Structures are given as structure tokens and as C-alpha cells.
């Protein structure tokens, strides 16, 4: 076969691999075939389906105690401190300085620093030395990190009707208002990397960031759950509640460039 024939055959094979089709395809039809493949440019990479997941080293764990410093994934439940090898799904022991016994659910970040907040106990982490030191705030001085969350731009503190937003530059908290859902806890807010969700039992919401409005959301496989047990390793989203372990399914997300052509050609 000629190089051109080989090229068209490869394109046709790639189209069939994406669509699941088996029919031959002419070059004239290739643009339409490619255009019919769903583009994920504005879609979440996840489906709404959960399946079971297994771990090594630490097999019974709660997602609310899992956190990251931007490089590693940790599990912190008082004296039980672990770090995750994501390539093997294996947990191993981890040591800290300054603060050695704490819960991961109270750890949060402003995008630059890592903080631990438990009532009036407030710390900031030096990631290079794994050392914790004391931290002070304004506007809101006694709070729990478990109720802090972000929409990707701002940092919020949410517990019941107490709702705040953080001015990172001044370490100052001020009041914040929402629509659709006005009284909720930040420890049940989570993201799949695209959208922001609130999950508590059968109460499932998704946030419109531009309007600060929450609306109802439906899931498959796992429909009643708490966001407090959700976490990510940077690639997948997991639900971990002791022996109940799930991973959130993904959509194939690929962009394709449409071709052009009108002249009849052989099929491939």
C-alpha cells in the first residue's frame, strides 16, 4: 500500500476505535465521523458511577483524614500517620515535627501554605522539613479546618449558617452569602476537578460558582453519601468510609480537529 493509503487506514482505524463502529469509512466521510465523536472540552473527566477500590499497608481508612501538601498524599488520624505511594496504592508510616498527633480533616491550604486548624489550635506547615509552627488569623480566630473549602479561586469557611470568605493577602475572614443552599458544613464540599459538590446523605448539590448558587445533583452506583469521605490522589476521586471503598468513573475526554474534504475516495 502507498503511504497515503496507510495514513487513511490509520485514521479510519482510530475513528472506529473511538466510536466502536466496524464499517469502512471513505475520506469524504472522515470529517463527519470525527465530528460525531463527543468532545470533552467542557465536560468533567468523570462519569457519575462508583466502583470498589483496594489498598495496601492501610486497608481500612476514612477519606476525611486524607490530605495533600501538593506533592504527597497523607493519612492522619491522631498518632496514625501515613504517606501514600500512588503508583502502588500502598500506605507507609510518616513522621512530623512540631505537631505529631492530629486529624487530617482539619488540614487545608490557601494554595500556597498548608494549615492545621482545630478550634484555637492553629498551625502552618513547612513542607521542606515536615515541621508545624503556630499561625494567627483575623476576623475568625477559632475554627476547624475540616469546614474550609475552595471553589478554585476563593477560600471559604462553612459551618451551619456561619459562612466566611478569606482574604489570603491579609489572613482576614469576612461574611459570605449563598443561594439555593445557605446553611451547610464545608467538610461535605468536594470537587471532581471541574465542578464543586455538596454531599450529605441523599442531599446532593452542585455549585454554580459564577452566581454562588447550589442546585440538585444526581449520581449512579453510590447515591447516598457524605462528602467528608471523598478525596483525590490528583488523578482519581475516591470515596472511603472504613470498608466501603469506591472510585468515581471517568468519561473519555479527548478533543478532535475536524478535517475537510468532498472528493470521493476509496473506503478504509
Name the burial class of residue 222, with classes exposed (0-12), middle (13-18) and buried (19+) by CB atoms within 10 angstroms of its CB: middle
* CA distance linking residue 49 with residue 37, whole number of Å: 21
Domain count across the chain? 2
CA-closest candidate to residue 37, choices 5, 10, 12, 4: 12
Q: Is residue 165 domain-shared with residue 225, that is, in the same domain? A: yes
Predicted TM-score (pTM) of the model is 0.61
More confident residue, 114 or 8: 114
Mean pLDDT of the chain: 83
Q: Is residue 222 domain-shared with residue 97, that is, in the same domain? A: yes
**Boundaries of domain holding 207:** 46-250
Q: Is residue 37 domain-shared with residue 80, that is, in the same domain? A: no
- The pLDDT, as a whole number, for residue 256 is 20
CATH number at residue 59: 2.110.10
Instruction: Select the highest-mean-pLDDT range: 2-6, 71-75, 189-193.
Output: 71-75
Q: Is residue 170 domain-shared with residue 184, that is, in the same domain? A: yes
What are the tens digits of pLDDT across the range 124-164?
Answer: 999 999 999 999 999 999 999 888 889 989 999 999 999 99
What are the tens digits of pLDDT across the range 55-79?
Answer: 999 999 988 799 899 899 999 999 9
Q: Which three cell numbers stand for residue 212?
A: 454562588
Q: Is residue 96 domain-shared with residue 121, that is, in the same domain? A: yes
pLDDT at 264 over 60: no
pLDDT at 87 over 80: yes
Q: Work out whether the CA dihedral 239, 113, 81, 103 comes out positive or negative.
A: negative
Q: Is residue 188 domain-shared with residue 236, that is, in the same domain? A: yes
Q: Is residue 80 domain-shared with residue 129, that is, in the same domain? A: yes
Contact 154, 166 (CB under 8 A): yes
Q: Is residue 174 domain-shared with residue 59, that is, in the same domain? A: yes
Contact 239, 222 (CB under 8 A): yes
Amino acid at each position: 500500500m502507498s503511504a497515503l493509503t496507510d495514513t487513511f487506514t490509520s485514521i479510519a482505524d482510530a475513528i472506529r476505535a473511538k466510536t466502536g463502529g466496524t464499517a469502512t469509512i471513505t475520506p469524504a466521510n472522515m470529517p463527519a465521523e470525527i465530528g460525531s465523536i463527543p468532545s470533552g472540552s467542557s465536560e468533567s473527566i468523570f462519569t457519575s458511577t462508583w466502583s470498589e477500590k483496594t489498598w495496601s499497608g492501610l486497608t481500612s481508612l476514612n477519606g476525611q483524614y486524607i490530605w495533600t501538601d501538593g506533592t504527597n498524599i497523607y493519612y492522619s488520624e491522631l498518632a496514625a500517620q501515613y504517606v501514600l505511594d500512588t503508583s502502588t496504592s500502598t500506605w507507609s508510616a510518616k513522621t512530623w515535627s512540631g505537631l505529631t498527633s492530629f486529624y487530617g480533616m482539619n488540614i487545608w491550604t490557601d494554595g500556597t501554605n498548608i494549615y492545621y486548624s482545630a478550634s484555637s489550635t492553629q498551625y502552618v506547615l513547612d513542607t521542606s522539613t515536615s515541621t508545624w509552627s503556630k499561625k494567627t488569623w483575623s476576623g475568625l480566630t477559632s475554627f476547624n479546618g475540616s469546614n474550609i473549602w475552595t471553589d478554585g479561586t476563593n477560600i471559604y469557611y462553612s459551618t451551619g449558617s456561619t459562612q466566611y470568605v478569606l482574604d489570603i493577602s491579609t489572613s482576614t475572614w469576612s461574611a459570605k452569602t449563598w443561594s439555593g443552599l445557605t446553611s451547610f458544613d464545608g467538610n461535605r464540599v468536594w470537587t471532581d476537578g471541574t465542578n464543586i459538590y455538596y454531599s450529605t446523605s441523599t442531599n446532593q448539590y452542585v455549585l454554580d460558582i459564577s452566581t454562588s448558587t447550589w442546585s440538585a445533583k444526581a449520581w449512579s452506583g453510590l447515591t447516598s453519601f457524605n462528602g467528608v469521605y471523598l478525596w483525590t490522589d490528583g488523578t482519581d476521586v475516591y470515596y472511603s468510609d472504613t470498608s466501603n471503598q469506591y472510585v468515581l468513573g471517568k468519561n473519555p475526554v479527548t478533543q478532535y480537529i475536524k478535517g475537510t474534504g468532498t472528493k470521493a475516495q476509496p473506503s478504509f
